[in-house]
Amino acid sequence: DVKVTQSSRYLVKRTGEKVFLECVQDMDHENMFWYRQDPGLGLRLIYFSYDVKMKEKGDIPEGYSVSREKKERFSLILESASTNQTSMYLCASKEGGVNEKLFFGSGTQLSVL
Amino acid sequence: GQQLNQSPQSMFIQEGEDVSMNCTSSSIFNTWLWYKQEPGEGPVLLIALYKAGELTSNGRLTAQFGITRKDSFLNISASIPSDVGIYFCAGEGVYNQGGKLIFGQGTELSVKP
């Protein structure tokens, strides 16, 4: 089975802190994604990557950056956390190509105080 | 950009009842996926649909890829308490970029024993 592992289930940070959310997948998938989930808004794509060192903005990239130095690891960075970034963050991965299934990690619930 | 409208937003049903939810879009999709998210977890794939008109079952769950390629529905028959969760539809658009999916807003299902 595909495993997508997010390093923290819960995080509490202060406004202005730099925050790193880590994600690792064990199936050699090309594509990796970061979503945030908020009640009533569903899943919104922040950034995605289709190869090492490649990244593309999603629908809501403002206030975030990403890093993909190795194929299995995709990091989401909040340069200066703000209270409106309190949310559930979900990492996902899939094979390259069309019609491939997307697999999610368990999520990181981030609270910014 | 492409958007998915998922309805209903929430459902409160009695155990044993059947459930139906659907997603619609103004644009065409190549793939429809249905996910379930339980509290504190990431979404888990239930059913994947790849062809217009396709009808696929997974136990008590049945999903269809609409003929127009702009909609999909998910039915759950004889609901049980463990069906509780948030159900998301997701689509892969025709002009897909890097394998990313578009998600609906989710349907929150509550089942009363």
Reduce the secondary structure of A35-71 to three states and give it as a string: EEEECCCEEEEEEEECCCCCCEECCCCCCCEEEEEEC
**What pLDDT band is residue A100 in, cutting at 50, 70 and 90?**
confident
What is the pLDDT averaged over residues A32-38?
94
For residue range A54-92, what is the model confidence (pLDDT) as tens digits? 999 998 999 999 999 999 999 999 999 999 999 999 999
Q: Which chain B residues have a beta carbon less than 8 Å from that of A97?
A: 99
Classify residue A72 by its DSSP letter. T
Instruction: Provide the shortest C-alpha distance from residue B68 to chain A (in Å).
Output: 18
Which of A9, A41, A100 comes nearest B99 by C-beta? A100
Check residue A42 and give its pLDDT: 85
Give pLDDT, residue A65: 97
- Using alpha carbons, select from B17, B40, B31 the residue that is nearest to residue B65: B31
- Three-state secondary structure call for residue B98: coil
Cβ <8 Å between B101 and A40? no
* Strand B44-49, strand B29-37: pairing: antiparallel
Cβ of B44 under 8 Å from any chain A Cβ? Answer: yes
Nearest 5°: the CA angle A66, A67, A69 is 165
Q: Which residues of A touch B (CB under 8 A)?
A: 4, 9, 30-31, 33, 35, 40-45, 48-50, 56, 58-59, 90, 92, 94-107
Contacts for B70 with CB less than 8 Å, ≥ 6 apart:
B24, B25, B26, B27, B28, B29
Cα atoms found within 13 Å of the Cα of residue B15, Cβ hemisphere only: 5
The answer to whether B31 faces chain A, any CB pair under 8 Å, is: yes
Which of chain B's residues have a Cβ under 8 Å away from the Cβ of A105? 42
Per-residue pLDDT of chain B (113 residues; tens, 9 = 90+): 567 899 999 999 999 999 999 999 988 888 999 999 998 889 999 999 999 999 999 999 999 999 999 999 999 999 999 999 999 999 887 666 556 788 999 999 999 98
Longest dimension (CA), chain A: 40
**Nearest-by-Cβ selection for B101 from A41, A95, A102:** A102
pLDDT for position A2: 67
Angle at B47 between CA B68 and CA B14, to 5 degrees: 100
In chain A, pLDDT over 90 holds for what percent of residues?
77
Model pLDDT, residue B40: 84
Which bin fits B100, alpha (ψ -120 to 50), beta or left (φ > 0)? beta
Cβ atoms of A68 and A74 within 8 Å: the answer is yes
Instruction: Using CA coordinates, name the residue in chain A closest to B96.
Output: A98
CA distance B21 to B28: 19
Nearest CA to B47 out of B59, B28, A52, A31 is that of: B59
The residue that leads in pLDDT, A40 or A83, is A83
pLDDT at A98: 66
Chain B residues with CB under 8 Å of A103 CB are: 45
